[in-house]
Amino acid sequence: MPTIVIAGGGIAGLEALAALRAHLGPAVRIELLEAATDLVERHRAVASPFDASAPRRFDLARIAADHDAHLRPDRLESVDADARQVRTVHGDTLPYDALLVAVGAKPDVAIPGALTFSGPRDASAYRRLLADLRERRVSRVAFAVPSATTWALPLYELALMTADHLGADGQRDAGLVIVTPEHSPLEAFGERIASHIWCLLAERAIAVRADTVPLRAGPGGLIAADGSRIQVERIVALPRLAGPWIGGLPRDEQGFLPIDERCAVRGVDAVWAAGDGTSFPIKQGGLAAQQADVAAGAIAARLGADVVSEPLRPVLRGQLLDPRGRRFLDATRGDMPATPLWWPPTKVVAPHLDRYLFPGPPPSTPAAAAAPITRSSSSDRRYH
């Protein structure tokens, strides 16, 4: 029986697991390498400082068991591609017929002196900043998008939520500014959606300094790469991501795994990769799931399944957590409807995993909520 090793139990790894079982049934043995015990909805961590709720957690042992996979509480250390073996952090050696690397990236401080918001663990620090704003110990805050950050949406959500949170307390004079290298807010989604984001920010009196690369905190505020200084008292920033640097596998200068159009790791046989650990420029859960689905199709075809191995045709989709009503974003569209564009209406679109985690039929109305996600066409906005 062929053995597939999936390294990583995040969105990409679990989407691949569900897709592989759908393609191959019980005909393969699947080993899932993941040291964590839960899948955490990290993409909703931006809401935690405001409602004190913790992101949902899903038991990995249960997910693995339901997909007839063996969960090994361990992590990938290195790969011997010639022998088709992986070595784990605990020192075990596992053979594979196909390997999918979905270990993610490594977050690091991008702007010294800023509050780096990386996920759930930073919620308490952000609550303290909110308290300082409410008590007027702080009056001006910059939300800084580092130059190496390729998924800026969480910072925009933090800014929108902060403005509404303060407005609910009657405080509308706080100075909030987004400082970003982007030409326009969330420009990855296209100009029309960017114009909608401009309007949302203007409604909350959130200023934007576009085409500005933030570097570090300094006397009097945030220092930009062009030497300018943005006068603020606190800075909130996203992390800089570095590649996983997997021994035995090729990597670029930042440690990311280079992949081809079918998400195979370039230069080695029988190894695929998906998610933030790859060289794909935008690090986002929905795109990671699309990579995982492409890799799963390629693996299944390689192992003899009656599956057509399709190339990656990435389409950027996401959900904006606006406190005045969530918005669904799709780079192939120019609007931001409140009506779901996919079902289930998750923040990160991972079709196989979502159907498992959130079973149930879509509502009969509105019709758009029940519309399936279609494969992107030649006119879709794509990212390479």
Residue-wise pLDDT tens digits, 137-155: 999 999 999 997 779 999 9
**Is pLDDT at 245 greater than 50 in this prediction?**
yes
**Listed residue (185, 195, 235) closest to 215, CA to CA:** 235
- pLDDT category, 52, cuts 50, 70, 90? low
Q: What is the pLDDT of residue 364?
A: 65
The CATH number corresponding to 3-106+242-302 among 3.30.420.10, 3.50.50.60, 3.40.50.740, 3.30.750.24 equals 3.50.50.60
Question: Which segments of the chain belong to CATH 3.50.50.60?
Answer: 3-106+242-302, 107-240
Please give the Cα distance from 80 to 144 (Å, whole number). 40
107-240 homologous superfamily: FAD/NAD(P)-binding domain (3.50.50.60)
**Is pLDDT at 365 greater than 90 in this prediction?**
no
Lowest mean pLDDT across 40-49, 73-82, 304-313 = 40-49
Q: What is the pTM of this model?
A: 0.92
Helices (H), the chain: 11-24, 48-51, 60-66, 123-134, 153-168, 191-203, 285-302, 351-357, 367-370
The pLDDT mean for the chain works out to 92
**Is pLDDT at 380 greater than 70 in this prediction?**
no
Q: Which residue has the higher pLDDT, 276 or 376?
A: 276
Q: What is the pLDDT of residue 375?
A: 35
Helix (H) or strand (E) holding 209: strand 206-209
By percentage, how much of the chain surpasses pLDDT 70?
A: 94
Q: What is the pLDDT of residue 199?
A: 96
- pLDDT category, 79, cuts 50, 70, 90? very high
| Mean pLDDT across 305-310 | 96
